[in-house]
């Protein structure tokens, strides 16, 4: 299933046919071992236009040359990543209010600077100071999660599953860190592809413009699951985040994962 968002922020679910990945024309004997290595920069240095990877005995490829649709959506996503949160901009203020009411629909917000924000897991009275690491897109990600998978969002917010630590991770600040982690993992701001994960994600982006936001929701669920499995406490958050990234990378490179919805951990959202 794919997810689309309309201008008002509501979500609609639609079916998407799996895209076809062109078979590599190189015979098995002609493919160098370096070209099969996920994340290896060697195939880029050689100027190859495709990345060959062995999957279930056959060689497949994902082309580096972007289609017009991929280029358009990638540039749009890059633009989102470059927008800093600006507390003086009205649209940013409205997005922050929207996050509050998506999170606490029956609780009135007294102001954009208020002790109430600490309930959500911000570090202080002014949540705008916590967006510095990942920018406005981290707020968009939280809002997307709250509106698209409200039940899962509320479970994580309220720490409803499993045996929780005495010193839990702050929900909202964790969300900002997850956005930053995904940005680093996908490496979309670089001028050249340096990892196979990036190439795979761009392929996904051509199928669903909101692939980044969906991946964020999956990542949040994976992080909380690993947090519980490790019986982690606040000081171990960075280690949990590292293992979350490793899990995401493994799933993105699985044979049958063509869309975010194909990732095994996507089921955690349902």
pLDDT computed for residue 58 by the predictor: 46
Report yes or no on 211 lying in a domain.
yes
- The count of domains in the chain is 1
Sign, CA torsion 134/148/89/187:
positive
pLDDT computed for residue 269 by the predictor: 97
CA 7, distance to chain mean position in Å, is: 21
Whether 85 and 176 have beta carbons less than 8 Å apart is answered as no
Report yes or no on 217 lying in a domain.
yes
Report yes or no on 174 lying in a domain.
yes
User: What's the domain range around 92?
Assistant: 67-269
Report yes or no on 56 lying in a domain.
no
- Show the low-confidence residues of the chain (pLDDT under 50): 1-49, 54-59
pLDDT per position as a tens digit, 227-261: 999 999 999 999 999 999 999 999 999 999 999 99
Report yes or no on 112 lying in a domain.
yes
3-state helix, strand, coil in the chain (%, to 5): 55, 10, 40
DSSP 36-68: G-TT-THHHHTT-SEEEEEETTEEEEEESSPPH
Report yes or no on 50 lying in a domain.
no
Report yes or no on 25 lying in a domain.
no
Sign, CA torsion 27/31/36/40:
negative
pLDDT computed for residue 51 by the predictor: 52
Return all residues near 268 (Cβ < 8 A) that are at least 6 apart: 152, 218, 221, 222, 225
Report yes or no on 175 lying in a domain.
yes
pLDDT computed for residue 73 by the predictor: 96
């Amino acid at each position: 299933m794919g997810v689309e968002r309309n201008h008002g922020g509501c979500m609609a679910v639609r079916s998407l046919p799996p895209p076809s990945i062109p078979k590599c024309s190189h015979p098995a004997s002609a493919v160098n071992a370096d070209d099969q290595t996920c994340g290896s920069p060697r195939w880029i240095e050689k100027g190859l236009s495709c990345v060959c990877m062995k999957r279930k005995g056959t060689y497949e490829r994902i082309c580096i040359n972007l289609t017009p649709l991929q280029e358009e959506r990638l540039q749009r996503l890059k633009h989102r990543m470059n927008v800093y949160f600006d507390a003086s901009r009205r649209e940013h203020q409205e997005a922050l209010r929207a996050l509050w009411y998506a999170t606490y629909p029956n609780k009135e917000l007294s102001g954009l600077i208020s002790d109430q924000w600490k309930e959500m897991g911000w570090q202080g009275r002014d949540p705008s100071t916590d967006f510095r690491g990942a920018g406005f897109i981290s707020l968009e990600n939280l809002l997307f999660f709250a509106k698209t998978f409200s039940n899962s969002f509320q479970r994580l917010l309220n720490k409803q599953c499993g045996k929780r630590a005495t010193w839990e991770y702050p929900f909202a600040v964790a969300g900002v860190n997850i956005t930053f982690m995904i940005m680093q993992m996908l490496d979309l701001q670089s001028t050249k592809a340096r990892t196979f994960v990036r190439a795979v994600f761009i392929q996904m982006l051509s199928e669903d413009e909101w692939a980044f936001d969906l991946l964020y929701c999956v990542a949040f669920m994976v992080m909380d699951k690993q947090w519980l499995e490790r019986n982690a406490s606040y000081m171990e958050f960075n280690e949990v985040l590292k293992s979350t990234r490793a899990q995401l990378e493994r799933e993105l490179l699985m044979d049958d994962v063509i869309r975010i919805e194909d990732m095994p951990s996507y089921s955690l959202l349902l």
